[in-house]
């Protein structure tokens, strides 16, 4: 899996293959500053920011 979640969602990956989509996002550790999507690896997002708790 080398594509960005941001682009995969535009191509409707979640509707076609929900299991593959879940592999990208769980456990979510990063948030895309551009579109707000989350992912488990920063490489999966266009503009990743690490999610931290306060």
pLDDT for 12: 65
Q: What pLDDT, in 10s, does the model give residues 22-49?
A: 888 899 999 999 989 999 999 999 999 9
Residues sharing a CB contact under 8 Å with residue 8, sequence separation 6 or more, in sequence order: 21, 24
pLDDT for 14: 62
pLDDT for 50: 97
Say yes or no to pLDDT of 51 above 70: yes
pTM of the entire predicted model: 0.75
Element (H, E) at 20: helix 18-25
3-state percent helix, strand, coil for the chain, nearest multiple of 5:
40, 15, 45
Cα Rg of the chain, angstroms: 11
């Amino acid at each position: 899996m080398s594509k960005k979640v941001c682009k995969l969602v535009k191509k409707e990956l979640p509707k076609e293959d929900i299991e593959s989509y879940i592999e990208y996002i769980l456990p979510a550790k990063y948030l895309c500053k551009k579109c707000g999507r989350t992912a488990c690896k920063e490489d999966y997002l266009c503009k990743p920011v690490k999610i931290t708790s306060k």
